[in-house]
Amino acid sequence: MKGSLVIVSFFILGCISGLIFEIPDSINLTDISSYVLYVLMFLVGAGIGCDGKIKEIIKFVRPQLLLLPLSTIVGTLSFSALAALILPQWTVWDCLAVGSGMAYYSLSSILIMQLKTPVAGAAVASQLGAIALISNIVRELIALVGAPFFARYFGKFAPISAGGATTMDTTLPIITQVSGQDIVILSIFHGILVDLSVPFLVSFFASF
């Protein structure tokens, strides 16, 4: 939760700075965001590759275990598409792009701003990127706070689906606490697969 608040604080600080200070035309923010995105993608891959539990997870994997991350992705995209019915100012593709973040707010927001700028313009891309940042942070916070409720009323797998891409790191402790130690490997496996889906899904939906 602390990390999410730090991200939001920097986002708000950036908005305030943009309002107060005039950015010189010589500084191309699009290029800067591209380099930040490349570094972020490298760190995501390095983080997954360096995880000491990878070998253990690979041994643990069974075809039926794919059902949980698949259900998380399909459920998230389904409700994201329905959101377009009550948010007429945004297309179904925009809503799907935001939902595809799966609580991975830092990567999804940068990707959306980067890919939406040539399609819809910088103003719209910035708005949608901000929405992606906030909505995916809110999803992580809901997963952290609501995990006991989800586990009690919807079963021990529910907190994992709610956590999306965060179940391999930030929400893992609370998931372990409410769903049991035997769920740890599944939670990490779920987080890795959903994590890997984010750049592909966001890139696809943001291209429309």
pLDDT computed for residue 188 by the predictor? 85
pTM of the model: 0.78
The per-residue pLDDT string of the chain (208 residues; one tens digit each, 9 = 90 and over) reads 555 566 667 767 777 777 777 766 666 555 666 676 667 667 666 666 666 665 666 666 677 788 999 999 999 999 999 999 999 999 999 999 999 999 988 888 888 988 898 888 888 998 999 999 889 988 988 998 899 999 999 999 999 999 999 998 888 888 988 998 888 888 888 998 999 999 999 999 998 8
Are the beta carbons of 202 and 175 closer than 8 angstroms? no
With b meaning 16 or more CB within 10 Å and e meaning fewer, what string describes 138-164? ebbeebbeebeebbeeeebbbbbbbbb
Length of the chain: 208
DSSP 8-state symbol, 167: G
The span from the CA of 100 to the CA of 199, in Å, is: 8
Domain limits at 149? Answer: 2-206
Residue 24 confidence (pLDDT) = 66
Domain count of the fold of the chain: 1
Reduced DSSP (H G I as helix, E B as strand, rest coil) percent helix, strand, coil of the chain, to 5:
80, 0, 20
